[in-house]
Amino acid sequence: MNIYSILTASLIPLGFLYVVKWLNFFETHRFRLILLALVWGAFSLELSYQVDHPIRLLLGMKWVGTHTAPVVEEIFKSLILLYLVRRADTAFFVDGAVYGFASGIGFAIAENMLYLSRVDVDTGVVLATMRAFTSSVLHGSTTAIVGMALAGFPLGRINHPLLRWVAGLVLAIPIHTVYNDAAFHEFVFGKTSLLVVATIAFAALMIVAGAIVWGLRLQRRRLRKSLGAGGSGEARLVRNADELDALLAPVAARFGDAKRDQAADALMLAAQLSMKQDQIKKTRDPELRAELAPQITQLKQELKQARHEVGIYVMTYVRSIMPKATWSMWARLGQTLAASAPTGGSLWRVLETRLVGHNSAAEGIYATVRAELDARSVALAADGED
């Protein structure tokens, strides 16, 4: 086993995990929980081996691979999801897909290292490449399917987590079984069998990716309702998540990339806060509500700090290039200032314009105050003469 085969067998699967993580636009998952899932996935290989190995000695490797291994491996890989998906860190089923894919990738990387330890150096690179694009994708995708089911997709009416877990396994195990059966025919069909297993693995990945894309669209519609039915700036951001760069391009052009990133972070925190608030309203689990409450408080604090870092003037400009918002007093203040701001003007110019009011000469605030004081002096003098 050389460094090239090790890197191929580990970095490519991690690259697929990054893609799945990247698909979750709202970034409601937690990096530390992804790492936990990865570690568990690697450890679950040992648990699976302890169950499969005695059976393999009795019935042979092919029988185990096509009968017991898919069941045993999917059960052990997904056990961590019973913990992760029932936490407040899981906002919706896309998080379950990310954590499930991470566990499956952890299992696949550990299994890849096991296979590489049994072959020579030249064979190792070929084997690592083949497994990185087939079995690694398969393991990640099937466990992601279990994660999605546990997190409620498409089982919204089934509330018990164990029933959702079993339903996910019922979907994942047959896919894994068909894959293993095709893999064991490799010695008969050669390259054709390799194409078949790759097709099965990527078909499972497309199922996961398709479900994630659909889930994000569904979540945008929900956020649209919770953030304001009329089409607020936040709602527009949610509906057009894929166009975030284009939406905020004017902000980057006028204030720089740093302010653009800060504005995007603030809008994203607003969306995450709305999702958490919606989640705590719907859940009946007292333990989950107890976990959600401090997270909502923390998100509110982070959002307040993010808005402070952006600054009212920049966020006012953000509001001015998006439809009017109705979901918060802060947003209303921003849209009011933006609506009255002349093209190319500034916040101070807006305030000065408001303050000069009916002063047709528009001489400024100090001239207005002077004129008012002079008028009062003349009136007092007139009263004294009377």
Kindly give the confidence (pLDDT) of every residue in the chain, 386 residues in length, as a single tens digit, with 9 standing for 90 and above.
678 898 999 999 999 999 888 877 666 678 889 999 999 999 999 999 999 999 999 999 889 999 999 999 999 999 999 988 877 667 678 888 999 999 999 999 999 999 998 888 778 888 899 999 999 999 999 999 999 999 888 766 777 889 999 999 999 999 999 999 988 876 555 566 788 899 999 999 999 998 888 877 776 666 556 555 444 454 555 445 445 566 677 777 777 777 777 777 777 777 777 777 777 777 776 777 777 788 788 878 887 888 778 777 666 666 665 544 333 434 434 444 444 444 444 444 544 454 444 444 444 444 555 565 566 555 655 655 55
Instruction: Give which of 208, 316, 330, 341 is closest to 273, Cα–Cα.
Output: 330
Contact 120, 128 (CB under 8 A): no
Q: Specify the pTM.
A: 0.65
Confidence at residue 381, expressed as pLDDT on a 0 to 100 scale: 58
170's tokens: 């019922």
Given 202, 224, 246, the domain boundary residue is: 224
Q: At what angle do helices 93-116 and 69-84 cross, to 10 degrees?
A: 130
Confidence at residue 352, expressed as pLDDT on a 0 to 100 scale: 46
Shared-domain flag, residues 173 and 266? no
Shared-domain flag, residues 202 and 307? no
Confidence at residue 231, expressed as pLDDT on a 0 to 100 scale: 46
How many structural domains does the chain have? 3
52: phi > 0 → left, psi -120 to 50 → alpha, else beta; which?
alpha
Confidence at residue 298, expressed as pLDDT on a 0 to 100 scale: 84
Instruction: Give which of 113, 97, 172, 108 is closest to 137, Cα–Cα.
Output: 108
8: exposed, middle or buried (Cβ count in 10 Å: 0-12, 13-18, 19+): buried
Shared-domain flag, residues 220 and 307? no
Given 193, 224, 255, the domain boundary residue is: 224
Shared-domain flag, residues 253 and 323? yes
CA distances from 325 to 56, 108, 248, 332, 336 (A): 63, 47, 16, 6, 10
**What backbone torsions phi and psi does residue 185 show, to the nearest 5 degrees?**
-95, 5
CA distances from 67 to 60, 177, 182, 183, 198 (A): 11, 7, 13, 13, 20
Given 224, 243, 278, the domain boundary residue is: 224
Shared-domain flag, residues 317 and 381? no
Shared-domain flag, residues 165 and 273? no
Shared-domain flag, residues 314 and 362? no
Helix, strand and coil percent figures for the chain, each rounded to 5:
80, 0, 20
Shared-domain flag, residues 63 and 196? yes
Alpha carbon distance 145, 219 (integer Å): 18
Shared-domain flag, residues 79 and 94? yes
Q: Could you list the residue range(s) of the whole structural domain that residue 108 is in?
A: 3-224
Confidence at residue 71, expressed as pLDDT on a 0 to 100 scale: 96
Shared-domain flag, residues 60 and 191? yes
Confidence at residue 338, expressed as pLDDT on a 0 to 100 scale: 45
Shared-domain flag, residues 207 and 308? no
Shared-domain flag, residues 196 and 49? yes
